[in-house]
Structure 1
């Protein structure tokens, strides 16, 4: 099998000791029934609650304690192209087989879940999760089919102001909600933006992560813009694991707030 960067993954046996360096995928592994096999996580792995108290924290997503990972003697490490650096992946490869995920659309998500089902011997739960997400997504799309298309800008950082561009998983979920990203460059990831671009949006979404936008920041933007400003839960827009199942309920509530 190959991972989502086309790198070959060779496992002699089903992994029994897993280190995950991707918060959203830590939650996914737990929901696939692999909590007992999970031995190392990042300080940002906040779901499920209290998981970090039960596992070894090996650092963040961009900076790890390689000695802690070695000490855990993992037989499988899960990384992500965007969240983890090439240096981290290379260092982890010296310890155990590393699967690098790369999620930029729903098909990539389904592939990841299927691959983990095979590699980690949890195919029934993986198939059930994929089926549940596909069904819920189809139901959601049917429900918003008649909704108007809204011009939005999704801010992820404050100083400098940065937004989610079109070449992101966030944008895939914006499109699912019938939001039109006012950033027009198709290959844009997280560009810096200015006030003039913000003025092109009818709705400005302030994400709770990675920068923790709050009601205080909402008031600041409302004093400068005519757009409707909404604080949104960044986890539902950017976590591409099993949280997707809950995301559609959140999006339905969010759309009701918009006027």
Structure 2
């Protein structure tokens, strides 16, 4: 690829890079992990406080704040020649301000296909196309072997407590639930609806999945959900495996297959 080169991101924005980027800031945890897995450790200069993988390597990078509150003065000090963000995880105002100064490439992820496209496009952006292609082929192969739950099981997936917030439609987690064969009872609502105990009781899920992130659900929370839905099976699940859409997707099919198997065994 010859530079300067103009790229179009998943939101339809165009950015022109004069040369292969050497100072990259990542604003999204799952995409940060992807950048490391693409072999870009030496070119990553900044990331968010929520970027926790790979554990030892992220500690050596500058923290630019959170996904919703960037410290722009820190980013300015880093002088990035590429910033990589995401429509859902970052905030519009902050991204707009960064776009006024730097090339900002944005992902917009709803499905596995969107994720594979994002990985390949970041490979192009960073000159790591071969590694990106290897990752996407591995991910596609893994999901191609995933055996979904055989019968419909009405499912609620919770990401927050106080108030309860569940997963609705139009997001990546809902897509992963569909891939597993779990029927999302709140799919008629958009994004991440707030759900009252009365609404949950009326929806009557047979399976309640409590995510380990962003709220750190644990088994100690089972009782309150069991009181609302006495008939439901309740499980804590690894939120990263349902919501991270970067290279962690290589590990997701095996984990999701385990969840499907456990639910199936408990249903018999």
The TM-score with structure 2 as length reference comes to 0.92
The offset of 1:82, in angstroms, is 0.5
The offset of 1:64, in angstroms, is 1.1
Q: Which of 127, 133, 141 is residue 135 of structure 1 equivalent to? A: 141
Q: Are 1:238 and 2:238 matched, yes or no?
A: no
Corresponding residue pairs, total: 255
Q: Which runs of 5+ in 2 are unaligned?
A: 1-6
Residue 209 of structure 2: aligned partner: 205
Cα distance in 1, alignment partners of residues 164 and 173 from structure 2? 17
The offset of 1:160, in angstroms, is 1.2
Q: Are 1:252 and 2:254 matched, yes or no?
A: no
Residue 224 of structure 1: aligned partner: 228
Cα distance in 1, alignment partners of residues 31 and 249 from structure 2? 11
Cα distance in 2, alignment partners of residues 56 and 81 from structure 1? 22
Q: Which of 56, 61, 64 is residue 55 of structure 1 equivalent to? A: 61
Q: Are 1:108 and 2:114 matched, yes or no?
A: yes
RMSD: 1.3
Q: Which of 99, 116, 123 is residue 117 of structure 1 equivalent to? A: 123
Q: Which of 18, 36, 40 is residue 12 of structure 1 equivalent to? A: 18
1:185-204 pair list within 5 angstroms:
185=188, 188-199=190-201, 200-204=204-208
The TM-score with structure 1 as length reference comes to 0.95
The offset of 1:63, in angstroms, is 0.6
The offset of 1:216, in angstroms, is 1.0
Residue 90 of structure 1: aligned partner: 96
Q: Are 1:170 and 2:173 matched, yes or no?
A: yes
Q: Which runs of 5+ in 1 are unaligned?
A: none
Q: Would you say the 8 A contact 1:182–1:197 is kept in 2? A: no
The offset of 1:52, in angstroms, is 3.0
Mean Cα displacement is larger for which, 77-86 or 195-204? 195-204
Local SS of the residue matching 1:91: helix
Mean Cα displacement is larger for which, 102-111 or 15-24? 102-111
Mean Cα displacement is larger for which, 158-167 or 87-96? 87-96
Q: Would you say the 8 A contact 1:70–1:95 is kept in 2? A: no
Cα shift readout 1:139-162 (whole Å, capped 9, x = no counterpart): 11xx33x72221100011111111
Cα distance in 2, alignment partners of residues 126 and 53 from structure 1? 24
Cα distance in 1, alignment partners of residues 53 and 221 from structure 2? 26
The offset of 1:180, in angstroms, is 0.4
Cα shift readout 1:162-200 (whole Å, capped 9, x = no counterpart): 101111100000000000001142x61001112344332
Cα shift readout 1:48-69 (whole Å, capped 9, x = no counterpart): 0123320000100001110111
Q: Would you say the 8 A contact 2:200–2:228 is kept in 1? A: no
Local SS of the residue matching 1:231: strand
Cα distance in 2, alignment partners of residues 34 and 88 from structure 1? 25
Q: Would you say the 8 A contact 1:113–1:126 is kept in 2? A: yes
Cα distance in 2, alignment partners of residues 193 and 69 from structure 1? 37
Local SS of the residue matching 1:151: strand
